[in-house]
């Protein structure tokens, strides 16, 4: 319980600084991605591209969140394969495992331990308001309660590392708001323990829409017509772009009443680093067919070097496992003392006081 006891108040200021506080540190970034399928251009444009850029100036930690991927029905053999494939995809995209810490969530048991502790500070009602739970659970009573708990595990992932900023797509904004609320609540109950993280959501690329339905977000667990993935061959990419839904009319403009074109122009602009207005001007009077052919080639060209590197990495899965094991060690160097601090302030540690 909270409050004073013969052993002192748990909210009392600590007399000794925690070891991690003694070292001045760079801004720390943490983000996660589920091994629920091959990485899509939505993941890349919304999040991963930024992780690659930020690793040079910030201390970056990237986690393959396999425990999150268990919250919907899955095949265990696929999960292991997808975990290794996703690690290879991230490295192929430019995550440098010498710079950033890249690891698999289940290898650091502190994530699940902290989830339980944070669950005691998370309201049932808060979790019920999460739109992802409502979307993925679809109101089905028989949905696993892990899906309900998903945001608590995500909060634990983030605050376990004293994260300053969380680079994600727009769909994760609500989860990060909840993370902040839970961390603040914990700090006010048990004393300053966690850094309160900020969401880092870019305007461009934050929400890439599905190719077969521009009102839904592109998602690697959607059907194959929904996304373009890094595992897709050039021919598949051509076919998928060719079949992508378009709007009525024939104008190639990024207007709100043209959601399909707005999405395709957005993708084109991000991949080629060309302002949308310039693309709109280039395609005045040009048909959808030519536009789509050009877009497919632009995507293929940008993805080619990444795909070549990916093929090399996939040829040596033992090396990927070695990289992930090293990432686990480095992640635990941060997670273990933090978790010990949490055990102390919550009164579940039997070691001498903090």
> Per CB under 6 A, does 161 bind ligand LTN?
no
Task: Exactly one of 27, 217, 292, 351 is catalytic; name it.
Answer: 217
Q: Is 258 a catalytic residue?
A: no
Q: What residues from 195 to 214 belong to the interface with ligand LTN (CB under 6 A)?
A: none
Q: In terms of Cα–Cα distance, which of 206, 93, 101, 120 is closest to 161?
A: 101
Name the binder of 157 from ligand LTN, ligand ATP, none, CB < 5-8 A by kind.
ligand LTN
With CB under 6 A as the contact rule, which of the stretches 73-81, 165-173, 204-212, 319-327 interacts with ligand LTN? Answer: 165-173
Q: Which stretch binds ligand LTN (CB under 6 A): 164-172, 229-237, 243-251, 266-274?
A: 164-172
Which H/E stretch holds residue 29? Answer: strand 28-33
Q: Is 27 a catalytic residue?
A: no
136 is catalytic: yes
Q: Which residue is nearest to ligand LTN (CB)?
A: 32
Residue owning tokens 């986690």: 63
- CA angle 229-251-268, nearest 5°? 30
CB contact set of 326 (below 8 Å; sequence gap of 6+): 97
Q: Which of 27, 134, 136, 292 is catalytic?
A: 136
Tell me the C-alpha distance between 201 and 206, whole Å.
6
Whether 50 contacts 60, CB under 8 Å: no
Q: Which of 41, 45, 52, 65 binds ligand LTN (CB under 6 A)?
A: 65
**Distance of closest approach, residue 226 Cβ to ligand ATP, in angstroms:** 9
**CA-to-CA separations, 326 to 111, 124, 281, 340, in angstroms, rounded:** 17, 37, 49, 22
Q: Are 201 and 207 in contact, with CB atoms under 8 Å apart?
A: no
Show the tokens assigned to 234. 């050039």
Q: Which of 220, 240, 262, 338 is catalytic?
A: 220
CB of 37 to ligand ATP, least distance (A): 6
Q: Which residues bind ligand LTN (CB under 6 A)?
A: 30-32, 34, 65, 68, 154, 157-158, 166, 168, 172, 175
Q: Which residues are catalytic?
A: 136, 217, 220
């Amino acid at each position: 319980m909270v409050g004073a006891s013969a052993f002192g108040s748990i909210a009392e200021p600590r007399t000794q600084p925690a070891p991690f506080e003694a070292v001045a540190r760079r801004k720390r970034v943490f983000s996660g991605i589920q091994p629920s399928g091959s990485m899509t251009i939505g993941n890349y444009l919304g999040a991963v591209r930024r992780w690659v850029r930020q690793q040079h100036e910030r201390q970056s930690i990237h986690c393959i969140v396999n425990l999150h991927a268990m919250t919907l029905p899955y095949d265990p053999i696929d999960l292991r394969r997808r975990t290794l494939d996703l690690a290879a995809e991230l490295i192929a995209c430019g995550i440098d495992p010498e710079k950033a810490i890249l690891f698999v969530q289940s290898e650091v048991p502190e994530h699940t331990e902290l989830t339980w502790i944070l669950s005691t500070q998370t309201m049932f009602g808060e979790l019920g308001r999460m739109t992802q739970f409502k979307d993925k659970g679809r109101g089905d009573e028989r949905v696993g309660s892990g899906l309900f708990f998903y945001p608590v595990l995500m909060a634990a992932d983030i605050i376990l590392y004293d994260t300053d900023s969380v680079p994600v797509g727009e769909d994760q904004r609500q989860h990060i708001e909840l993370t902040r609320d839970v961390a603040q609540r914990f700090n006010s109950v048990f004393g300053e323990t966690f850094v309160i993280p900020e969401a880092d959501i870019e305007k461009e690329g934050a929400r890439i829409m599905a190719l077969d339905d521009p009102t839904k977000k592109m998602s690697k667990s959607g059907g194959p017509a929904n996304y373009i993935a890094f595992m897709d061959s050039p021919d598949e990419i051509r076919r998928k772009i060719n079949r992508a839904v378009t709007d009525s009319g024939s104008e190639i403009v990024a207007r709100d009443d043209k959601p399909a074109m707005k999405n395709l122009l957005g993708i084109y602009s991000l991949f080629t680093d060309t302002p949308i207005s310039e693309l709109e001007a280039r395609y005045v009077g040009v048909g959808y067919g030519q536009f789509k052919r050009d877009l497919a080639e632009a995507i293929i060209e940008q993805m080619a070097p990444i795909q070549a590197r990916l093929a090399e990495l996939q040829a040596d899965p033992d090396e990927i496992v070695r990289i992930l094991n090293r990432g686990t060690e480095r992640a635990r160097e941060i997670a273990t003392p933090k978790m010990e601090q949490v055990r102390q302030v919550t009164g579940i540690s039997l070691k001498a006081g903090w």
